[in-house]
Chains A and B, each alone.
Chain A
Amino acid sequence: MKLFDFWGGVHPAGQKHLSAEQAIQILPMPSRLHVPLQQHTGRSAVAVVKVGQTVRKGELLGQEQGGVSAPVHAPTSGVITAIGDFTAPHVSGLPLPTVTLESDGEDRWLEQEPPPDPFALEPEEVAARIGEAGIVGMGGANFPSAVKLSKARQARVHTLAVNGAECEPYMTCDDRLMRERAEHIVDGVRLMLHALQAPNAVIAIEDNKPEAVARMKAACQNEGQIRVVVVPSRYPAGSAKQLIQILTGLETPAGGRGTDTGVLVHNVGTAYAVHRALRQARPLISRIVTVTGGAVAEPKNLEAPIGALVEDLLAFCGGTTDAPARLLMGGPMMGHPLPGTQVPIVKGTNGILALTAAELRLAATPSPCIRCGRCVEACPMGLMPLEMSKRARHDDLDGAQAFGLIDCISCGSCAFACPSHIPLVQYFEYARGALEARQRAEQKARETRRLLEQRQARLVRAEQAKAEAAARRQAEKRQARMKGGATA
């Protein structure tokens, strides 16, 4: 199969050796789990359980609402002890509505009928079951998978691209999953193809994972419609837009969808979750998380229940050696700092990364831009990060937008490459935030104006109506008088 190239990109040190040879271990069930109701893009789920209620493993905790949403399920059996705000795994540290579940230590599953043969089901039904299992994009996009599949089927996608590139440094959860559960992933891919009614799937893996490639190839041996392709290791090969470019040479149109190119991208972890949902009737209640970084005593790949605290995972890995210089959820290129270790892991958590200061390679202060163009060279989207950041820094939001702020995928390649250590992505996020705030303010001003105008119009109408009514009454009176006069 012919591969194409994507633009730009960088070669960060992989650091995967820290955890790549660690077989997946199951995290002992923590005594308490904190399951946020919103772990996906779209509307939050609403709790359907009450405090004090006992639940079985796999039982519904939160029901999805609206078209783009996903349910959440109980990762173990136990008692609901609280439903309320809990720190979310986000840099802001803002709390999110969360169901707290006290484990009863028995881990008893909800009894369920054995699932029917999924290939006998209608594609729409397969997608529906994927939705009911609460499956969302597990590469970090968090978009509800069923919605994505149904839309892609309507768009007549011809190829499912299964993303096993795992281009983020340090991360090895997909690598281990592919090495250890290749058959299940391939089964999940076949099921997704059925849901999509698409003829082909391509499993893309970076060439730094030869064992995963070998295992996946072996697992696909008898699958004529599934092909494993090895893509060069270069960040961000695993970003959906760039992966589509590698596989087809086509670009997702600005403002369009990936499916406009005829390709739908799903993560290998999602394929695995689909297999579990349709073959074993298991909702998405656990995932593989890589716990690694120079500050972690024993880096590991863990199968952890959703809602386990970062603290629990770190403790199982021997804790942190020194105080980590930075604690992240996700990889170093796109992950975000955590407000602490008292935050739960969610469906989209691929890793917990505790970095030492040496690994961060932080400059004390950024120095001025020397216009070296490395950021331009590194940008996979064809942007000029130095120009965007210059404008963002001076609050010239329109200028930043004119240079393509909305096309930026926040991949961080530019900031990685910048010799002046300018926090480019941070400027972009700042500008995006400011733009959104401005749009919201404009929206509000428009709305206020509209209401004001409506009110004024109403007042005017009321005045008019009053005047007309008065005139009518006058006329009637006069008429009555005249009539009275006539009869008199």
Chain B
Amino acid sequence: MSIFPTSAPHAHAPDSVPRIMGLVLLAVAPAMLYGIVLFGWPALNLFLVTVLACLLCEAVCLRLAGHAVRPFLMDGSALLTGILLALSLPPWAPWWIGVVGGFFAIVVGKQVFGGIGQNIFNPAMLARVALLVSFPVEMTFWLEPRPLFSSHAPGFMEGLAITFGGIPNIDAVSGATILGHIRTELGMSHALSQILPGHYHAGTAALGWTGGSLGETADFLVLLGGLWLLWRRVFTWHVPVAMLATVLALAGGLHLLDPERFASPAVHLLSGGLMLGAFFIATDPVTSPTTKLGQLIFGAGCGAFVYIIRTWGGYPEGVAFAVVLMNAATPLIDHYVRPRIYGRTWRGQSRPVSERAKRPPIKSGEAE
């Protein structure tokens, strides 16, 4: 059939895929810049390598598949995948982590499925999971923030050396994320009241002054960006609110039961990739359900998995796993959760109007 749009509508909302991607890029930019400043030149190097790898892989795949490269590359989706992947990597990871991750995200995570819109899993998260499983050492190397140009930050050349040659004095710079720290200490059966003081301040955590991956630390900026996207109606509140509320509820409930074993909701909310995940990753339209109810279920599922993995699973952080697991459930959710059709019952039968319901909307003589 011809696709010349001869049929209505002949008007269109001022929306397009590149525009949506552009807004998301803008929204994530502050957190991204903050993360780069916080972890210095090596972070910038890794960031650039990852993004370039993604763009290159996208271009090559498009060419191989015989698609027009430019329009698809310009839709911004590969760029966004690259950025989100970079943001979820340890900031001083070696360059090849970025390259392998980019390859995984774009080739295995997206193009193998048929390109934009066809993939089941969030490409960035699939890559992160793959990297974490394959290179556990590199993927769990965390360090305390060393902002650009501060006294103990590496200079430009040093930065290149770190990204492309490895970190010279590993033990001197390494530091654990708060979630990692809690896990290790709990493993040694220490109580939270002994573990946390000196390691965790809600204020510094929210401002991002903490160890973690590139973009996971500045929760405050991530939240602002997310709220801005909500306001611009790029996505609706359903996924992020369901995800955060579920983590909050589980963490709150268990914390009340045993505060020595279960970290408080604030710790959960303001650490790791939860905020980034809730606003920028789980909201990926392609891999989340299309109905509002489906999105609530999806968000709640993500939240529950995050909490379960963090608390009982084998890894201290679970956002990527949680999102990938719920991605896998999305086709099922979309199959079962459909809106009710106007004039039909949930089962699709015609829905009769009961005699009682047929009241006139106004009674004669009713006052204005």
Contacts and interface: CB of A to CB of B under 8 A. Distances in A.
B364 A200 contact: yes
A63 B339 CA distance: 46
Given A333-B11, A370-B117, A255 B290 contact: no
Interface stretch (B1-9, B126-134, B165-173, B271-279): B1-9
Interface in B276-307: 285-292, 295
Contacts of B3: 365-366, 423, 426
Interface in B1-50: 1, 3, 5-17, 19-20
Contacts of B338: 384
B342 A407 contact: yes
Interface string A360-378: 1111011111111110110
A374 B236 CA distance: 10
B12 A416 contact: yes
Given A260-B352, A404-B341, A407-B343, A199 B360 contact: yes
Contact of A386 (B290, B340, B365): B290
A254 B350 contact: yes
Contact of B10 (A2, A199, A241, A328): A328
A429 B9 CA distance: 12
A425 B75 contact: no
A355 B10 contact: yes
Contacts of B368: 227
Nearest to B16: A419
A380 B75 CA distance: 29
B364 A224 contact: yes
A271 interface: no
A373 B10 contact: no
B291 A368 contact: no
User: Which residue among B71, B116, B361 has the maximum number of chain A CB atoms within 10 Å of its CB?
Assistant: B361
Contacts of A336: 6-8
A417 B233 CA distance: 12
B289 A332 contact: no
A366 B339 CA distance: 26
B63 interface: no
Contact of B353 (A260, A333, A412): A260
Contacts of B359: 158, 248, 262
Given A373-B291, A430-B1, A159 B361 contact: yes
Given A200-B362, A254-B350, A376-B290, A420 B8 contact: no
Given A332-B9, A382-B342, A250 B357 contact: yes
B358 interface: yes
A169 interface: yes
B155 interface: no
A336 B339 CA distance: 29
Interface in A254-288: 254-256, 260-263
User: Which residue among A241, A256, A359, A415 has the maximum number of chain B CB atoms within 10 Å of its CB?
Assistant: A415
B7 A224 contact: no
B297 to A, nearest CB: 13
Interface in A421-475: 421, 423, 425-427, 429-430
A423 B7 contact: yes
B199 interface: no
Contact of A261 (B117, B291, B353, B365): B353
Contacts of A13: 11
A20 interface: no
Given A410-B8, A426-B3, A368 B353 contact: no
B285 A371 contact: yes
A52 B13 CA distance: 52
A421 B351 contact: no
Contacts of A227: 362, 366, 368
B232 interface: no
A253 B341 contact: no
A415 B13 CA distance: 9
B344 interface: yes
B118 interface: yes
Interface string B117-152: 110000000000000000000000000000000000
B365 A224 contact: yes
Nearest to A430: B1
B10 A371 contact: no
Contacts of A199: 360, 364
Contacts of A253: 343, 350-353
A251 interface: yes
B292 A377 contact: yes
B115 interface: yes
B18 to A, nearest CB: 9
B7 A251 contact: no
A256 B71 CA distance: 46
B21 to A, nearest CB: 9
Given A1-B362, A224-B364, A241 B285 contact: no
B351 A225 contact: no
B364 A250 contact: no
A382 B290 contact: no
A335 B295 contact: no
B360 A200 contact: yes
Interface string A367-400: 1111111101101111110100000000000000
A253 B352 CA distance: 5
Nearest to A427: B1
Interface string A316-351: 000000000010100011111100000000000000
Interface string B203-244: 000000000000000000000000000000000100000000
B356 to A, nearest CB: 11
A360 B17 CA distance: 17
A384 B293 CA distance: 13
A128 interface: no
Nearest to B5: A423
A370 B155 CA distance: 42
Contacts of A247: 361
Contact of A368 (B9, B118, B341, B350): B118
A426 B353 contact: no
A339 B8 CA distance: 15
A377 B235 CA distance: 11
Contacts of B116: 367-368, 370
Contact of B362 (A202, A332, A407): A202
Contacts of A410: 8
A254 B344 CA distance: 6
A118 interface: no
B15 A419 contact: yes
Given A262-B360, A332-B10, A362-B12, A419 B19 contact: yes
A415 B11 CA distance: 9
Nearest to B295: A373
A420 B340 contact: no
Given A370-B285, A417-B13, A254 B351 contact: yes
A248 B361 contact: yes
Contacts of A252: 342-343
Contact of A363 (B1, B7, B16): B16
Given A371-B287, A376-B339, A425-B8, 7 more contacts: A247-B361, A250-B353, A256-B350, A262-B358, A360-B10, A384-B291, A421-B12
Interface of A: 1-2, 7, 10, 12-13, 91, 158-159, 169, 199-200, 202, 224-225, 227, 241, 245, 247-248, 250-256, 260-263, 326, 328, 332-337, 353, 355, 359-363, 365-374, 376-377, 379-384, 386, 404, 407, 410, 412-413, 415-417, 419-421, 423, 425-427, 429-430
15 contacts: A7-B342, A12-B13, A200-B364, A262-B358, A332-B9, A363-B12, A366-B3, A368-B115, A380-B342, A382-B339, A382-B342, A416-B11, A419-B13, A419-B15, A419-B19
